[in-house]
A = this chain, B = another copy of it.
Amino acid sequence: MSYTAPQKDMLFNIQHLAGIDQIAALPGFEDAGLDTAQAVLEEAAKFNEGVLSPLNWEGDKNPSSWKNGVVTATPGFKDAFKQFAEGGWQGLQHPTEYGGQGLPKTIGAACVEMCNSANLSFALCPLLSDGAIEALLTAGSDALKATYLENLVSGKWTGTMNLTEPQAGSDLAMVRSRAEPQGDGSYKVFGTKIFITWGEHDMAENIVHLVLARVTGAPEGVKGISLFVVPKFLVNADGSLGARNDVHCVSIEHKLGIKASPTAVLQYGDHGGAVGYLVGEENRGLEYMFIMMNAARYAVGMQGIAVAERAYQKAVQFAKDRVQSRPVDGSAKASVAIIHHPDVQRMLMTMRAHTQGCRAMSSVAAAAYDVAHRHTDAETRQQSQAFHEFLVPLVKGYSTEMSLDVASLGVQVHGGMGFIEETGAAQYLRDAKILAIYEGTTAIQANDLVGRKTLRDGGATAKSIARQIVVTETALAQSGSADALAVAKRLKAARTAFLDVVTFVVSSTKTQPNAVFAGSVPYLMLAGKLVAGWQLARSLLVAEELLAKGIDVAFMQAKITTARFYADHVLITAQSLRDSILEGADSVTALSVDAF
C-alpha cells in the first residue's frame, strides 16, 4: 500500500498548464520558478511517501480515541506531526513575515495533494490550520496576528473551523452559539459545535478555534454572525500558555472513514464561558468565513484528487500482480495479469483520466489564485480572481464527486479482495465519501456556482472561459492529428452544451428558480467535465509538441491517450447533461412531498 507521488504529472501541469514562468515573474515569487517547484516537490514526496503514507492504514485500524475529554491521536501521528512542522510544511504558502515560506499556490497545491494522498486523515489537521491562518491574515487585528500567527504557521499550534451546530449545517443562518462582550474587549462564548475536525487532540501544544457565534443583541440570520478566536489554552502576554479555556471535547464521532481524524463535539462555556476574541468587526463573521472557505474548498477538492490518485495507484499495482483468465483476443494461451483485460483497462483509464483531468484543472485554478494576488495589473488581477472563484466550486464539487467513482472503481478492480478491509482499497472509498459533504456539500457548491459565480456577473466569467476553450479547439484543429480532432469534437460539443446551460441559468434563475436549482448539480458536473477536459486537451497539445521533439516519449504518449480517453468517455456525457438540465427539470420537482 505504498504511495509514489506523481511528481512528473504535477510538474507537467505546473510548467505547461499553470505556466510557472509567469508565476515566477510576479512580485514576491521571483525565486519560485520551475527549479524551486522541482526541489520542493521532491522533498515533499520524500516526506509524504516515507513518513505519512505508512501511517494511513494504521489510522484506519486505530482511530484517534477519546477518554474523559482527552483525544489521543493514532499512534505515530504525534511524532509525524512534529516532523511535518519541523520540515516547514505548514508554512509553505504562508507569509515569510510570520515564518512561512511564501511559495505560490501553484507549487503549494501539489504538496497539499501529496500530503492528502499519503494520509487524508492526517492532512486534515494542517488543512484546518491553513483556514485559521487565512482568517487571521484576512481580518485579524495586529494583536491577534502577533499572538497566534507565528505558532500556527510553524505548526507549534493547530487551528480549527467551528461552524456547524446540530440545527445549523448547510444553513448557517441558524447558528445559535452566543458571545457576551466583557469589559476588557474580550467575549465569553457559549454553545455547542459539532463536526469539528481535529477539534481536540494531543499533537500540538495549543488549538486555536475559529468560532462562529452571535454577539448578544445581534440581528437574526446570517447578518448577525461574528467570528471569534477561542484558544484551547489562553495565551499570556509573553506568549506562554496560560489557563485552560472553557471549551471541552465531550465526544468524537464514529465515522465511515477518515477515522484517524477526530471529529469533535465541542462544548463552549459550560463552566462560566469560554474566553474569545473578536476577529475583525462584529456581524461580519460569515464574510470572513467565506474567504477562508474558498481556500478550504479548494483544499478539499485537492483531497478528492489525492484520494483518487492513491486509489488509482493501488488498483494499478493489483491489476499488474493478479493473474486471472486468458486474454479475450487469444494473444496468450495462459492466464495473464488482469491489467491485460480490456474492462480492467477501462476501469484504470477511467480512474487515471478523472484524476489527471481534475489535477490539471486544479493546477490552473491555483495559478489564477497567484496571479489574482500578485499581478501588478488590476484588471488582470480581477479577471484571474473571477476565473479562480469560478473554478473553486468545480475543484471542490466535481473533484470530490469523481473521487467517489474512482475509489469505488478501485475496489472493483480488486474484485472480492477489494471488499476485505485488510486489502486497503475500501478505505479510500470510505474516506472519499466525506469529501462531497464537508466544507459545503456538492449541492452547496452548485448553489455557489449558480448564484455567486454565474448569475452575479451575468455569465461573463463563464462565457470568457468558453472563449478560451475556442482557442484550444482551434489549436487542436491546427494540430490535425486523429487524437486532437477527436478531442476537439467532444470539447466543442461540451462547450456548446455548457453555454446553453449558462444562458438558461442567467435567464431563468429569477423566474424559474426551482427549474434552475433542479439542474444545479448537473450544471456543476457539466462545467467540471468541461474545464477538466479542456485542460487535458491543452495537455495533449503540449504533449504532441514535446513528442515531436522526442522529449519524454512514453509520458507524452500516455498523456495524449489519457486526454483522448477523457474526451471519449467522460466529456462525451456533456450533451445529455445539458438535455437533462434544459428539458428534464419538470420531473425533478413534480412529485408531491407526500408521494415520496
Q: How far is the CB of A447 from chain B (nearest CB, A)?
A: 8
Q: Are B256 and A596 in contact (CB under 8 A)?
A: no
A44 to B127, CA, bound (A): 51
| Interface presence of A345 (CB below 8 A) | yes
| Interface presence of A415 (CB below 8 A) | yes
Q: How far is the CB of A473 from chain B (nearest CB, A)?
A: 18
A340 to B589, CA, bound (A): 9
| Interface presence of A580 (CB below 8 A) | yes
Q: Are A256 and B517 in contact (CB under 8 A)?
A: no
A594 to B319, CA, bound (A): 12
Which of B343, B433, B575 is the one whose CB lies under 8 Å from A419? B433
Closest Cβ neighbor of A344 among chain B residues? B443
> Looking at A171, A173, A419, A436, which has the most chain B CB atoms within 10 Å of its CB?
A419
Contacts of A408 in B (CB 8 A): 404, 408, 433
| Interface presence of A467 (CB below 8 A) | no
Q: Are B419 and A434 in contact (CB under 8 A)?
A: yes
A388 to B594, CA, bound (A): 36
| Interface presence of A335 (CB below 8 A) | yes
Q: Are A558 and B316 in contact (CB under 8 A)?
A: no
> Looking at A345, A575, A586, which has the most chain B CB atoms within 10 Å of its CB?
A345
Interface string of A510-547 (1 = CB under 8 A from B): 00011101111110000000000000000000000000
Q: Are B411 and A433 in contact (CB under 8 A)?
A: yes
A6 to B485, CA, bound (A): 50
User: Total interface residues on A, using CB and 8 Å?
Assistant: 97
Contacts of A332 in B (CB 8 A): none
A residues 31-70 touching B (CB-CB < 8 Å): none
Closest Cβ neighbor of A427 among chain B residues? B256
Q: How far is the CB of A254 from chain B (nearest CB, A)?
A: 5
Q: Are B429 and A412 in contact (CB under 8 A)?
A: no
Which of B342, B430, B515, B575 is the one whose CB lies under 8 Å from A575? B575
Closest Cβ neighbor of A350 among chain B residues? B588
Residues A596 and B352 in contact in the complex (CB < 8 Å), given A412-B441, A412-B442: yes
Q: Are A430 and B171 in contact (CB under 8 A)?
A: no
Q: How far is the CB of A200 from chain B (nearest CB, A)?
A: 17
Q: Are B256 and A421 in contact (CB under 8 A)?
A: yes
| Interface presence of A320 (CB below 8 A) | yes
Q: Are B565 and A588 in contact (CB under 8 A)?
A: yes
Q: How far is the CB of A19 from chain B (nearest CB, A)?
A: 26
A residues 579-596 touching B (CB-CB < 8 Å): 579-580, 583-584, 586-596
Closest Cβ neighbor of A337 among chain B residues? B593
| Interface presence of A438 (CB below 8 A) | yes
Q: Are A255 and B573 in contact (CB under 8 A)?
A: no
| Interface presence of A93 (CB below 8 A) | no
Q: How far is the CB of A429 from chain B (nearest CB, A)?
A: 7
Q: Are A596 and B320 in contact (CB under 8 A)?
A: yes
Closest Cβ neighbor of A595 among chain B residues? B558
Q: Are B596 and A569 in contact (CB under 8 A)?
A: no
| Interface presence of A243 (CB below 8 A) | no
Name the segment of A114-122, A201-209, A323-331 touching the other chain: A323-331
A592 to B554, CA, bound (A): 9
A422 to B256, CA, bound (A): 10
Q: Are A325 and B170 in contact (CB under 8 A)?
A: yes
Residues A343 and B591 in contact in the complex (CB < 8 Å), given A573-B576, A584-B565: no
Q: How far is the CB of A514 from chain B (nearest CB, A)?
A: 5
Q: How far is the CB of A488 from chain B (nearest CB, A)?
A: 14
A-to-B contact residues, CB < 8 Å: 164, 167, 169-171, 173-174, 194-195, 253-257, 316, 319-320, 323-325, 328-330, 335, 337, 339-346, 348-349, 352, 404, 408, 411-412, 415-416, 418-422, 426, 429-430, 433-434, 436-438, 441-443, 446, 486, 513-515, 517-522, 554, 557-558, 561-562, 564-565, 568-569, 572-573, 575-576, 579-580, 583-584, 586-596
19 A-B pairs besides A256-B426, A575-B575 with CB distance below 8 A are A195-B416, A255-B420, A256-B430, A329-B513, A330-B513, A342-B520, A342-B589, A348-B596, A404-B408, A408-B408, A412-B441, A419-B433, A554-B594, A558-B591, A561-B590, A569-B587, A572-B579, A572-B584, A576-B576
14 example contacts (A-B, Cβ-Cβ < 8 A) are as follows A174-B324, A174-B335, A194-B416, A254-B422, A256-B419, A256-B421, A343-B518, A345-B591, A346-B518, A419-B437, A569-B580, A569-B588, A572-B584, A575-B575
Which A-B residue pairs are the 3 nearest by beta carbons?
A: A568-B584, A565-B587, A342-B518
